[in-house]
Amino acid sequence: VNTFLQVLFSSPFKAFRNFKFIMQVGIGIIGCGLIGETHAECLDQLGNPPILFFDQDDKRSSQLAKKYAGTSAKTLNEVLDSLEVHAVYICTHHETHAPIAISAARHKKHLFLEKPMALTEKECFDIVQAVQQAGVMCMSGFKLRYYPLVAKMKTLVQQPLILNGQILDSRWPDDSWANDPVKGGGNVLSQGCHAIDLLCWLANSKPVRVYGEARNLRHPSLDIVDSLAATISFESGAVASLTIADTGEFPLISKFSFEAADNQTTLHLHNRLKSLYINSAGNITHEHTEEEQGFLEENREFLTALRDKRQPLSNELDGLHATMILLRAIEASRSGIAQSLEDLP
C-alpha cells in the first residue's frame, strides 16, 4: 500500500491529477432546495458534480453533499474562501441574490445566478457593477433559451415584427416563499423574467419602451403583483405583447406559449415548448420534441463557457434587462405612463 501511495503522489502522477483538476470546474452550490438539487443533478450528469454545498438549513446541504459525494460547508464564507471552488450557483430566495452575488463576485468566483436577478433596480445594477469590476463571468439562469424548438424558432424568424409571450400557471399557494413579498415578490417577478428574456432574445433588437397593467387578482391578502399584461417596443419597430399570471393554465397550450411572425412566417410554440407549429406562406407544418432539456443544456453552456473563457449565451446584462423591464412595466401601471428602456446598458 505504501509503495502504491508513493507512486500515486510522485511528481508525474501529481501533474496528471492537476491536469484532471484543470479540466474539472470546482463548483459550489449555494441554496440546496429544489433548484440547487436540479443543477447539482445536471452537473453530475455532465461529469462535473459540484464539490461544496451550502444552505442556511444544514440538513439540506448535508443531504446534497452526501448524494453527490461532496462536502457540506458550515458558512457561506467557507464556500467563497475555498480555493477549489471556481464558480458558485446561487439558488436561494430572491431577496438574498444581491448580497450573495456581490460577495461571491468580490471573492472572484464566477456566477450562475438564478432568476430573477434581484427584486429592485438598484440591487440589479449593484450586481452588474460587482461582476464587471471583478472581471468574473455571470450567467443568468434563463433555461428557456436552451430548448431546441426555441432555437428553431429563432432561426426561422430572425427579425420578427410581432411577438406574443404567455406564462400562465396554476395558482401559487399563498404560503409559498415565492409569494412572500420580501423573499419572493410573487409569480410575475419570479417567472415573468423567463418570458421577457425569451421575447427580447427572439426579437433580436434593443427594447426601448414598456407599458403594463399590473394587478393582484388571486392573492388579495398579499402585497404582491400576481398578474401582468404588458407591451414592449423594440428599436427594430417590432412589438411584443406579454401575459403573466397564476390564474390557471389554458387547456390547449399549457403554461408556456410564444408566437413570432415576420412577413412570411408565423410560428406558435406551446405544450411546454415541445410543440412548434410553423405557417410558412400558407404551408403549415408541425415539429415536436419529447423531453424538456433546458436545465441540462444551460448547465452544459455554463461549463463550456467557463472552460472556453467566453461569455455565456445569457449573461448579467440579460438578467438585468429581464428584471428591469418587469419592474418598469409595473411602474407603468402605477403611473399610467409608458416607461423608457433607452438607458438599459
Contact set with ligand NAD (CB under 6 A)? 30-36, 54-57, 60, 91-94, 96, 114-115, 141, 143, 177, 190
Minimum distance between the CB of residue 304 and ligand NAD, rounded to whole angstroms? 19
Is 115 or 321 the residue whose CB approaches ligand NAD more closely? 115
Is 64 or 260 the residue whose CB approaches ligand NAD more closely? 64
Tell me the β-bridge partners of 279.
266, 284
Q: What is the DSSP string of 98-131?
A: HHHHHHHHHTT-EEEEPSSS-SSHHHHHHHHHHH
Is 227 or 233 the residue whose CB approaches ligand NAD more closely? 227
Minimum distance between the CB of residue 109 and ligand NAD, rounded to whole angstroms? 15
Q: What is the DSSP string of 230-272?
A: EEEEETTS-EEEEEEESS--BTTTBSEEEEEE-SSEEEEEETT
Q: How far apart are CA 283 and CA 281, in angstroms?
A: 6
Minimum distance between the CB of residue 80 and ligand NAD, rounded to whole angstroms? 12
Report yes or no: 61 and 3 within 8 Å, Cβ to Cβ: no
Minimum distance between the CB of residue 99 and ligand NAD, rounded to whole angstroms? 8
Is 190 or 266 the residue whose CB approaches ligand NAD more closely? 190
| 313-332 core/surface letters (b: 16 or more CB in 10 A; e: else) | bbbbbbbbbbbbbbbbbbeb
Is 16 or 177 the residue whose CB approaches ligand NAD more closely? 177
Minimum distance between the CB of residue 114 and ligand NAD, rounded to whole angstroms? 4
Is 291 or 343 the residue whose CB approaches ligand NAD more closely? 291
Q: Closest CB to ligand NAD belongs to which residue?
A: 33
Q: How far apart are CA 240 and CA 234, in angstroms?
A: 8
Minimum distance between the CB of residue 21 and ligand NAD, rounded to whole angstroms? 26
Report yes or no: 122 and 130 within 8 Å, Cβ to Cβ: no
